[in-house]
Amino acid sequence: MLSSTTALTLVLLALFDAVLVAFRPLQYIHDLRFIPLDQHPMVSKIPVYMESNRKVDVLVLGSSLPMCAIAEYDEKMYGKPDCKDVTQLRRYLGAKYLEQQLSTKLARPISAANLSIVACMASDMYIILSKSIEAGKRPDIAVLCIAPRDFVDNLVQPIGRTPPFEVLQDWKSLGDVLRRDMSAAETRDLLISAAWYYYRVKVDYRTVLTQYFSNLVSHPASLYYSIHGSNPGGKAASVAKKESEFRQTAEVKICSVGSIDKVEVDKLPAQPADMDNSKGDRYRPPNFKRFALEIDFFRKLLALCKKKNIECVVVNMPMSVAHRSILDKRLDRQYLTETQNACFTYGAHYFDFNDQQFVDSDFNDGFHVNTSGAEKVMKRMVASYEGLPK
């Protein structure tokens, strides 16, 4: 029999764990020196999705282009999310309009998830879907919303070091317990982590508290920093540099690829402070090496869908005239040819939304659709399902 003290301790620990799961306090820390990457608004929807028990029929993957389309039209139809709140926009996992329309068309309840991530590359889509399948969350339909920028971006981290990769590359699910290559210690940690959330994130909280009190008393955070020196000025400069580097990879990547001159760049409308201000520097010169690597991952993504019997829908997202004008023409042609050929090879359904139905007034900033553009995207996305197997 457990003593009353032991029982009370277990109850308090359970309550404490429930509060952490419900509120995830670290996501409300706005200082990039302290917040763990997996709770940063840019990618925090990934762990929420992976840890949920929700069965998803339709999974939407892509960058901020589909993210804005889905959120803008859901806000118009249902009042949420508030797209003016960038944090709310980035954390929005729903796709309510898509969900309701498909439920009607297919005459059965449909659950849809919007896992579009800021600055998501084709390689990021691959790891998100593969880890989702490993975690037992295989969708019936995968919607891949692509644009040229998902294959080329000079300032995005190398493959394997982007935020989605950082969050997911070591992600383990209970199904991994059956793997023979896992050590006893890894199996133990995985089982404890599955039952006890705090055990899984304790390092994050320890790091935050250590750094906070270190700054508070102006004392080195560890013996290493004490030995190697860490004066406040140098530390501040280092933190500022790291924060700047993080912002460079974490900011919304809204442009595509191309050779850009100053006149073409000036055609683009002014952008909110949260948006990318580097424009041409990000895509000049065209990065054909990164393009080839990302195309390989795109093929792997389509092959994975075919292997796992997932109906794959590829949507070429719309671009404004100004956006199209800054693309390197050769790279743009190669993008269309390679993506369409890959869809044909692996039996994916390809839909090209980048046509004359979209005009510049359908875009907020030359890149992301506004409410009128979002309505066109979402209605065409729903219509595209009519040709799919029921």
Q: Which residues contact 304 (CB under 8 A, 6 or more apart)?
A: 126, 129, 130, 133, 310
pLDDT on residue 352: 96
113: left (phi over 0), alpha (psi -120 to 50) or beta: beta
pLDDT on residue 251: 36
State phi, psi for 52 to the nearest 5 degrees. -80, 160
pLDDT on residue 272: 35
> Domain spans of the chain?
30-172+253-387, 184-250
CA 54, CA 58: separation in Å to the nearest integer? 12
pLDDT tens digits along 90-120: 999 999 999 999 999 888 999 999 999 998 9
pLDDT on residue 43: 82
Amino acid identity of residue 40, one-letter, is: H
Spatial contact of 333 and 340, defined as CB atoms under 8 Å apart: no
Spatial contact of 174 and 195, defined as CB atoms under 8 Å apart: no
pLDDT on residue 173: 55
pLDDT on residue 154: 80
pLDDT on residue 187: 58
Superfamily of domain 30-172+253-387: SGNH hydrolase (3.40.50.1110)
Prediction pTM value: 0.72
pLDDT on residue 306: 97
Closest CA to 376 of 390, 367, 363, 389: 363
The ranges of the chain with pLDDT < 50 are: 174, 177, 230-278
CA 312, CA 348: separation in Å to the nearest integer? 5
